[in-house]
Amino acid sequence: MQFRIKWQDVALTVALLFFGLAGTRFAARLQDGAPLDVFAHLLITLAATGLLFRSVRPLWTFAMTTAAIAVYLALGYPFGPILVSGVAAMYAVAMYASIELAAGCALLYALVILPWWNDSVTSWITWSAGWILLPAAAGVLMKLRRKSVVDVRERAVISERLRLAQEVHDVVGHGLSVIAMQAGVALYVLDSDPAKARASLEAIRDTSREALDGLRSELDTLRGSAPLRPTISLADVPALAARMREAGLEVSVELDDVELPGNLQLGVYRIVQESLTNVLRHASPGVTASVRVYAVRGELVVEIADTGTPGPLTEGHGITGMRMRAESFGGTLEAGPRNDGFAVIARIPLPS
């Protein structure tokens, strides 16, 4: 069984050892008890040495320290700094073991002290509360605090992984949809209109390059080497619409001049991109789409509508991802049939 002893545990052990060996001499002068000898110093050393294992084997620490203290008191040596090692052992059990086990160890340690207590039971209870229960409570609170910090970190990691997954879904899904559409066009006009086929192949090249760049950017984020600011903004929406037109979907764009932070611009761009990709995937020939981004009454409204035939709404990963993006900025997103087509409308509070 292998484990690594932490340097913090070594430092604590050395401090307790020095305090125990040096302080017990002064404590012995103020009390009546068996004179200190080599065995007493050995027990003090053993009690402090148990703290070496407090982080990796807290029960070993408690067993060694408590046994050394019990024998020390049973032989009549004076009360002294050796009890501080017991405090540290109790804290270690509460910190690194379960709460139930810590409660049992606290009771056992108090009972170990009781037979050698020379004062009243009331003073023993008071001493136990201060020297046993308080360290145990402090250890439990510290463990709960660390656990809460770990839980927060784990939630942040899960959230970041979901965000990256959504980014990859949007980048790759959009790219593949455009590539599939352009490839179909190129095959259809390959013999009759070579120029059109060439234009479609060039669009495939450009789209695949953009998708690869986006995927590479997300991988750089995982490696921790991504740029600090988003590289995509609302200024890229017209270019997105142009690619959609090349793929056969007529798109009109209206963008208000609104100052927005970079992360919000990226989020809005992804909503527009996913919406137009869905239209490209599912709409019939001749369908047109419109994109409007404007501010009204303290809200940024992102509206993507198409003239496709209304039908039942099946909410897949795309709409779910868009809704999550809007909600991450404190907004809402609605998607469904509207009049003569389908619409996605996101409302996001403008940053103050």
pLDDT digits (tens, 9 = 90+) for 143-181: 777 777 666 666 655 665 666 666 666 666 666 666 776
pLDDT tens-place string over residues 276-285: 888 877 767 7
**Pairing verdict, β 288-296 and 250-255:** parallel
Residue 252 has pLDDT above 70, yes or no: yes
- Looking at the DSSP assignment, which residues form a beta bridge with residue 302? 293, 346
Residue 1 has pLDDT above 50, yes or no: no
Q: At what angle do helices 317-328 and 134-189 cross, to 10 degrees?
A: 130
Q: Give the number of other Cβ atoms within 10 Å of residue 122's Cβ.
A: 8
SS3 assignment, position 336: strand
- DSSP per-residue codes, 227-282: -SS-S--GGGHHHHHHHHHHTT-EEEEEE------HHHHHHHHHHHHHHHHHHHHH
Amino acid identity, position 8: Q
First-residue to last-residue Cα distance in the chain:
58
Residue 292 has pLDDT above 90, yes or no: yes
What mean pLDDT value characterizes the chain?
77
Q: What is the rounded (10 degree) CA torsion for 310, 247, 174, 330?
A: -50
Joined together, the tokens standing for residue 259 give 């100052």
Contact 308, 287 (CB under 8 A): yes
Q: Which pLDDT does position 325 carry in this prediction?
A: 86
- The stretch 31-39 carries a mean pLDDT of 75
Residue 339 has pLDDT above 50, yes or no: yes
Nearest to 58 by CA among 19, 99, 20: 99
Range of lowest pLDDT (18-22, 38-42, 215-219)? 215-219
The number of CA neighbours under 13 Å toward the Cβ of 201 is 11
Q: Which pLDDT does position 229 carry in this prediction?
A: 45
Sequence-separated (6 or more) residues with CB below 8 Å from residue 45: 17, 20, 21
The pTM of the full predicted model, rounded to 2 decimals, is: 0.49
pLDDT band at 2 (very low <50, low <70, confident <90, very high): low
What value, to the nearest 5°, has the Cα angle with vertex 164 and ends 160 and 166?
Answer: 115
Q: What are phi and psi of 10, to 5 degrees?
A: -65, -45
Contact 174, 273 (CB under 8 A): yes
Better-scored residue on pLDDT, 278 or 334: 334
pLDDT tens-place string over residues 55-85: 888 888 888 888 888 888 888 887 778 888 8
pLDDT band at 6 (very low <50, low <70, confident <90, very high): confident
Residue 302 has pLDDT above 80, yes or no: yes
